[in-house]
Structure 1
Amino acid sequence: MSLSEFETRARNWVVDTLTRLEFTAVDDEFDVSVFHDLTEDEERALLDRHRTWQREKFDAGYGALDWPREYGGAEAGTEIAEAFARIDNELCPLPPHELVSVTLHLIAPTIRLLGTDEQKQRFLPRMLRGELLACQLFSEPDAGSDLADLGTRAVRDGDDWIVSGQKVWTSGAQFAEWGELIARTDPDQPKHQGMTAFLVPLDAPGVEIRPIRQMSGGSSFNEVFLDNVRIPDTNRLGEVGKGWSVALTTLAFEREGGSNTANVGGQFSQLVATARRLGREDDPRVREQLARVYLRQQLAAVDLLRDRQAREEGAAPSAIGSVRKIQWVDKLTAVSTAARTILGRNLIADTGVPGTYAWNAHVLGAPGYSIAGGSDQIQRNIVAERLLGLPTEPRADRGLSWREGRQRARERAGSAH
């Protein structure tokens, strides 16, 4: 069928199915939050609705339109998949949830590229149907923005690996069934070479998950502790010692995933409505900042078209994703700046005027994305080195093993005191 015929059929199916499921829109014109502020029960209920919606789409042939048939996909191509995504975003009233996006757009594609045949058959159909949700077990307290410096250890024990360590800032871990884990398997190799990736069940003995309360109110992030967690080697993702390549693959999908987060936080139209409500739409400073937000939204639309062309040509994720990430965070920052200018003190006091104090949730949440998925500074290093061909940043641990690098860091810290 033609694209227009597909869109008509898909739109009718979405409307009929949402009506049958009794998924109704929440009348909240000014939901501009960046992170959820929900109780655990409310967030679990939201995820259950997402699982139901994903299952309905998958069973009807809409849940994996551009995936191979062997995993339940339709092999319909990027244009068809994006057409359905636009209809879905327009009509489905469910607020987005990061754990769903991480599962479908980051971890599932990583398994598809790097997993064994058994892993692909075991995980992908269930992920694409919404039966299994997975999080990223990457960041650590002692590694900061340098993911390659992670210290969670995995030690071989026959056909198993014994894993101990701590992960932090893990989105959705308290609701996920599985996690993609990067661990240190050889501390005597340079830090980028001694890591291995695993798929770990989060109900395994020795796994403890502690939600972190954010200043914006919710608990989107978690600490995850692993105490002698036994993982079979069949759950290893990729080759031993190649965990950095696995991590880069997942991070590349994350940085190219701006289309999955495009509607997170406040938009230009909501800022304009707020300015008009407060009589600030003619203020020159307000108009200048609104123009900056509008420009960034239009550039994001151009980027989506470029991404679609690259995917249609079969291009692999690249450092262009870091450019996208920088641009998207810049847009969030521009929205926050405009909201502060428009609202002034109304930003921090709930006066009862609709669409005013609600911006507080955006301003408190937006800075988180300057760190999530790699800090802004890390993204700029990637762009400088991989796209512009500039010299690599000097590193004190160059040529050292991870163990030697950690020892050198401790010595420097001791001399500083």
Structure 2
Amino acid sequence: MTNPTDEDFLAEAETVVAAFAPRRTAGGPAVWGEGDDRVSVVAERSEGEAEEIAALRRYRALLAEHGLAWIEGPAEFGGRGLPPRYADLMRNVEARYDLPDDGYLRFSMATLCPTLLEHGTGAQRAAYLRGLRSAEIIACQLYSEPDAGSDLAGLSTRAVRDGADWVLDGQKVWSSGAHLSDIGLCIARTDPSAPKHRGLTTFLVDMSAPGVEVRPIRQLTGGASFDEVFLTGVRVPDENRVGEVNGGWPVVITSLLNERSAIGREVGVDEALVDRLVDLARHVQDPVDARTRDRLADVVVRSWAARETTAGFLDGGGPPGPELALAKLLTTDILRSISDVAADVLAMSHACDTGEWGTHAWSELTLGLPGLRVGGGTDEILKNTVGERVLHLPKDTR
């Protein structure tokens, strides 16, 4: 089948999205003071979270009905089978509308779906892929532990075979959205005698199963988008094992590469955030001083360069490679620059809430940014990845 022209696809996408949500007001200083003034890098648990999730599920179901829930995905699992650039076109359309925050689905759609495509069984793909893309199923990551963060392979959660099941015991931490999730992709140690990277296995865990306990982690922002998860005698059928027994590390690597790809892609989505930073400076400083103009220009240029760089990594159409670590590093670096400029422009209004729209709200970005710099691999670990696997520099002495 011939791919649609860009114009036809954009018209189709616009029609579907416009049927669900109103169009955003055009950017610029004239809209200062309108709408939600939160500036966040992660979806935050709040009183309206249940309503946001319900709206998100309605929206994703509408997209699935019109074949737009997984534009680049295989048709047999509800996808459209189009090249990735059509997904970029769809994101450009969505950016113009007031839609529910899809940050809740980042792991489900951008990480778990491609991981199951590569490592899942036919039954697992049939059972989960459509639901993950339509938000009927929400998933989380059960990787990091209190003593195994950057050194993930040093984890201590155990999985012991018991007939047709595995019994899991351990503790996971920093699991985004675990309190909302139906399933979790969990890595556990199945062979304590094997080298640490080779004795690990991954499982899809039912988050409502007996023995699963989710506790919120309160953040600097006041929100609680992350959780710690305790697994006590949790039984997981062997049919929910992803990949080979003791072969979980390649599954984890695939998921992390796709996670970094998703975070890296979001540099392009942040055009609205850059525009808002410019609006902030114009509002607070009238006229904008020369030093701030220079810093704003630097943010604008580096944001554009990061989008073009990331697009170059992804245009090949193959699986994500280690170079996606650089895309994630670019994202966090630019967000830090945005945060720094906003803090300097706002001065005390950045830390003290005067009640003026759009000022103190920037503190949420500043306080949430350290979490993003840890998620998907810490900046320090990713610099090692770029040095060793992209630039082929000598490894650190360990």
TM-score (norm 1): 0.88
Report Cα offsets for 1:76-96 as digits up to 9, x if no partner: 2223332222212322x1242
Matches within 5 A, 1:273-284: 273-279=279-285, 282-284=288-290
Please say which of residues 141-150 and 72-81 is displaced more in the overlay.
Answer: 72-81
2: distance between equivalents of 1:223 and 1:264?
29
2: distance between equivalents of 1:263 and 1:72?
25
Alignment-derived partner of residue 120 in structure 2: 115
Residue of structure 1 aligned with 2:340, choices 337, 340, 351: 337
- On the 8 A contact 1:99/1:172 being kept in 2, the answer is yes
1: distance between equivalents of 2:328 and 2:253?
15
- On the 8 A contact 2:177/2:225 being kept in 1, the answer is yes
Question: Quick one: structure 1 residues 300 and 129, their matched pair in 2 at CA, closer, same or farther if it must change by over 3 Å?
Answer: same
Alignment-derived partner of residue 316 in structure 2: 310
| Residues 1:358 and 2:365 are matched in the alignment | no
Please say which of residues 126-135 and 300-309 is displaced more in the overlay.
Answer: 300-309
Question: Quick one: structure 1 residues 280 and 379, their matched pair in 2 at CA, closer, same or farther if it must change by over 3 Å?
Answer: farther
- On the 8 A contact 1:152/1:165 being kept in 2, the answer is yes
**Structure 2 stretches of 5 or more lacking a match?**
26-32
Residue of structure 1 aligned with 2:104, choices 92, 99, 103: 99
Question: Quick one: structure 1 residues 280 and 321, their matched pair in 2 at CA, closer, same or farther if it must change by over 3 Å?
Answer: farther
CA drift of 1:143 comes to: 1.1
| Residues 1:28 and 2:28 are matched in the alignment | no
| Residues 1:234 and 2:239 are matched in the alignment | yes
| Residues 1:246 and 2:242 are matched in the alignment | no
Matches within 5 A, 1:65-144: 65-91=71-97, 93-144=98-149
Q: Give 1:392's aligned amino acid.
A: K
CA drift of 1:189 comes to: 1.1
Q: Give 1:184's aligned amino acid.
A: R
- On the 8 A contact 1:164/1:226 being kept in 2, the answer is yes
Residue of structure 1 aligned with 2:156, choices 151, 157, 178: 151
Alignment-derived partner of residue 215 in structure 2: 210
Question: Quick one: structure 1 residues 124 and 160, their matched pair in 2 at CA, closer, same or farther if it must change by over 3 Å?
Answer: same
Alignment-derived partner of residue 225 in structure 2: 220
Question: Quick one: structure 1 residues 342 and 280, their matched pair in 2 at CA, closer, same or farther if it must change by over 3 Å?
Answer: farther
Alignment-derived partner of residue 169 in structure 1: 174
CA drift of 1:162 comes to: 0.7
CA drift of 1:209 comes to: 0.1
What SS does the corresponding residue of 2:108 show, helix, strand or coil? helix
- On the 8 A contact 2:200/2:245 being kept in 1, the answer is yes
Q: Give 2:40's aligned amino acid.
A: S
Report Cα offsets for 1:234-269 as digits up to 9, x if no partner: 100000111111000000001111224654698222
Alignment-derived partner of residue 296 in structure 2: 290
CA drift of 1:74 comes to: 1.8
Alignment-derived partner of residue 273 in structure 2: 267
Alignment-derived partner of residue 51 in structure 2: 45
Alignment-derived partner of residue 183 in structure 2: 178
Please say which of residues 207-216 and 341-350 is displaced more in the overlay.
Answer: 341-350
Residue of structure 1 aligned with 2:374, choices 371, 374, 381: 371
CA drift of 1:284 comes to: 3.2
- On the 8 A contact 2:104/2:177 being kept in 1, the answer is yes
What SS does the corresponding residue of 1:136 show, helix, strand or coil? strand
Runs of 4+ in 1 over 6 A off after TM superposition: 23-26
Report Cα offsets for 1:285-341 as digits up to 9, x if no partner: 322321221122111220243144222xxx221111100011101001101111111
Question: Quick one: structure 1 residues 277 and 81, their matched pair in 2 at CA, closer, same or farther if it must change by over 3 Å?
Answer: closer
- On the 8 A contact 2:267/2:306 being kept in 1, the answer is no
What SS does the corresponding residue of 2:201 show, helix, strand or coil? strand
Report Cα offsets for 1:138-195 as digits up to 9, x if no partner: 1100113111111100111121111000000000000000000010111111111110
- On the 8 A contact 1:32/1:264 being kept in 2, the answer is no
2: distance between equivalents of 1:5 and 1:84?
12
Alignment-derived partner of residue 347 in structure 1: 350
Matches within 5 A, 1:391-406: 391-395=394-398
CA drift of 1:208 comes to: 0.1
- On the 8 A contact 1:193/1:241 being kept in 2, the answer is yes
Alignment-derived partner of residue 64 in structure 1: 70
- On the 8 A contact 2:150/2:378 being kept in 1, the answer is yes
2: distance between equivalents of 1:84 and 1:338?
30
What SS does the corresponding residue of 2:368 show, helix, strand or coil? helix
What SS does the corresponding residue of 1:268 show, helix, strand or coil? helix
| Residues 1:2 and 2:9 are matched in the alignment | no
- On the 8 A contact 2:339/2:365 being kept in 1, the answer is yes
1: distance between equivalents of 2:62 and 2:294?
44
- On the 8 A contact 2:339/2:366 being kept in 1, the answer is yes
Alignment-derived partner of residue 29 in structure 2: none
Alignment-derived partner of residue 195 in structure 2: 190
Between Structure 1 and Structure 2, how many residues are aligned?
Answer: 387
TM-score (norm 2): 0.92
Please say which of residues 3-12 and 263-272 is displaced more in the overlay.
Answer: 263-272
1: distance between equivalents of 2:192 and 2:340?
44
1: distance between equivalents of 2:163 and 2:339?
53
2: distance between equivalents of 1:165 and 1:280?
56
